[in-house]
Structure 1
Amino acid sequence: MKQTAALLLTFCLPLLLTAQSEINWTINLNTQQITQTDKRVFQTLEKDLAIFLNGQTWTNDRFEPEERIEATVFLTLAEQTDDGRGQDSEVVVPNQFKGTMAIQTSRPIYGVGEVTPVLNYQDKRIGFSYEQFAAIQLSEQSFTSELASIMGFYAYLIIGLDYDTFSPLGGQPYYEQAQEIYNRLPSGLQNAGGWTAAGKTNNRYFLLENLLSPRMLPMRRALYNYHRLGLDLMLTDPIAARNNITLAIEDMQAANQAYPSSALVQTFVDAKREEIIEIYRGATGPEQNAVIQMMTRVDPAGSGRYREIRAPASAKGRGRAGTR
């Protein structure tokens, strides 16, 4: 009997650990640009990433299955090459990869059986080393690998953003955990790639810096007003809900003025552009005009899209709403 129980525990423990994870990750790996490395390495990489991400908890809170954060990752990889070895052509560096990673997350909307996008972000400066069958591990005391650091960093950002939508500034502890991952990076990594504070304003460093900056507190307040006081109330009080969403957009505009070219504001806009258009198709003329003006200032590249707000409300836009 004890042997049977032990066997059951052995087989069920990984499943239990996965079920406890706050994030339900879907990993999509694109290796079409890989030409020389054995593609079987990436089958192992995909499995190792799923085990690493889904197989551990990131908070001390218990999430019910329906409360888990849905996160989809699209990782496009190429081999890293070196043209400084006296060769006529570039040489592939073993176990070294570069690429891009798109991350999309969502949270449920209260009472309507729908979800709303929270994060829609593309990291264009991914780089890491990976050896087949080498487990991906993240330590709270020391640096282990850049791949573990990148994925752990995003796990905490995703959770922090989710908590910010459910309570005012609720994500703070998780942004601080992401900061700890950054602090454990070797100095060479802190000053390179997607971690660097030099030049680029839309990378991992600046996304986290925005979330921790006092100048961006209106933006974080907007996350709560938009979701918890807006979408989550849309079913019971759509007028008050839409007013709160308008206040959130005003806060976003204030944050954008205080911090021009903010990575966080652009990330929010990329996630919410379509949703905002649908929400305000059912609004009054003055509400529509105000939102079109604000969103055009914040998102000038999408200015033409916001004029669609004046089009008749679609079936998709009616009754749309959004607690842990």
Structure 2
Amino acid sequence: MRIKFLILFVLSAFYANSQELNAVVSINTAQVTNVNPQIFKNLEKQIYDFLNNTRFSDKLVKPNEKVNCSFFMIINKFESNNFEATLQVNSTRPIFNSSYTSPIVNINDKEVSFKYVEFENLIYDQNSFTSNLVSVLAFYANIVLASDADTFQDKGGTEYLENALSITNVAQSSAYPGWVQTGKKTNRFNLISDLMSNTFDAYREAMYFYHIKGLDIMADELKQGKLEIINAIDVLYKVHKTRPNSLLARTFFDAKTDEIVNIFTAGPVVDIAQLKDNLGSISPLNSSKWNKIR
């Protein structure tokens, strides 16, 4: 009995200290010149350490449950420790009984600015604003984790979305761009506002059905999996009728367009007439790709 208790204690301690992300970080500095490149290498390492060594919740996460993601930053301007950058955030999710990984997040943020002093510690506290770099990284870390959790459990990512909302609320007084409501649809404020809105509950449900009932059964029931994905996209279409041209629809198809085309251009034949109509209505910018579905 004591041995079992010891094993459980050791495992609990191990999982309790585990972080949720397995992040790859890369910084591109091609647009800045006459600057010591070492500062960017140190920044890259600081971001890597922050994302991979920070716990964003109290959930127990096994090593194989960490979310694979990438943060690719392009430095557009650098002067006196002030940075202006573009940040590309991507994440993937493993599919049951398959070597395939499905794209979940594909977000490009063009309003990333921050001050960074070389070797400064990046410390996460969602209830206080320590630096805009920390706030942006923590915000997207929580978006990645929420989006992943929503694909395994209906609205499973709510805790992480609440974290992202808290980060947004605290950062709004900082005067950095992206944290307040503006004419721009694609900013952090609008993203978290939509994800937390009851209006878009069906979007999050569709993410769950698309993956759990669709992709995750395809190794054994390919045709049924395709039918379930058609049903999930039908749910997205109903959201679209209520809120056309929404940011979340764009976010979904930024990640999923090529995957959907690949799914429905191979394998067992299913009725795709309604699917193509729905896809064309929700995301007309991808009409050339939808035309490949036959």
Q: TM-score, normalised by structure 1?
A: 0.82
2:39 match:
41
How many pairs are equivalent? 280
The equivalent position to 1:219 in structure 2, one of 196, 203, 226, is 203
- Which sections of structure 2, spanning at least 5 residues, go unmatched? 1-13
Select the structure of larger CA radius of gyration: 1
Percent of counterpart pairs with the same letter?
Answer: 31
Opposite residue 284 of structure 2, the aligned amino acid is P
Q: Does residue 241 of structure 2 align to residue 257 of structure 1?
A: yes
Q: Does residue 55 of structure 2 align to residue 54 of structure 1?
A: no
Shift of 1:65: 2.8
Structure 1 contact 253–298 (Cα < 8 Å) conserved: yes
1:159 match:
145
Structure 2 contact 191–248 (Cα < 8 Å) conserved: yes
Structure 1 contact 71–105 (Cα < 8 Å) conserved: yes
CA distance in 1 between counterparts of 2:83 and 2:132 reads: 11
Structure 1 contact 23–54 (Cα < 8 Å) conserved: yes
CA distance in 1 between counterparts of 2:293 and 2:189 reads: 34
Shift of 1:288: 1.9
1:268 match:
252
Q: Does residue 114 of structure 2 align to residue 128 of structure 1?
A: yes
Opposite residue 258 of structure 2, the aligned amino acid is E
- Where 1:184 maps in the other structure, the secondary structure is helix
CA distance in 1 between counterparts of 2:70 and 2:208 reads: 22
Structure 1 contact 217–255 (Cα < 8 Å) conserved: no
The equivalent position to 1:27 in structure 2, one of 2, 25, 43, is 25
Q: In the superposition, relative to structure 1, how do residues 267 and 283 fare at CA in structure 2: closer, same or farther (>3 Å)?
A: farther
1:293 match:
277
Q: In the superposition, relative to structure 1, how do residues 131 and 17 fare at CA in structure 2: closer, same or farther (>3 Å)?
A: farther
Structure 1 contact 19–65 (Cα < 8 Å) conserved: no
- Which sections of structure 1, spanning at least 5 residues, go unmatched? 1-15, 81-92, 311-324
2:3 match:
none
Structure 1 contact 143–186 (Cα < 8 Å) conserved: no
The equivalent position to 1:144 in structure 2, one of 130, 144, 147, is 130
Shift of 1:214: 1.1
1:174 match:
160
Q: Deviations over 1:210-266 (max 9, x none)?
A: 101111111111000000111011122223222211111011112222222222111
- Where 1:120 maps in the other structure, the secondary structure is strand
Structural RMSD (CA) = 1.8
Shift of 1:117: 0.4
1:315 match:
none
1:247 match:
231
1:63 match:
61
Shift of 1:194: 1.7
Structure 1 contact 107–117 (Cα < 8 Å) conserved: yes
1:229 match:
213
CA distance in 1 between counterparts of 2:37 and 2:281 reads: 46
Shift of 1:22: 1.3
CA distance in 1 between counterparts of 2:172 and 2:160 reads: 21
Shift of 1:188: 4.2
The equivalent position to 2:180 in structure 1, one of 196, 203, 222, is 196
CA distance in 2 between counterparts of 1:140 and 1:73 reads: 20
2:83 match:
97
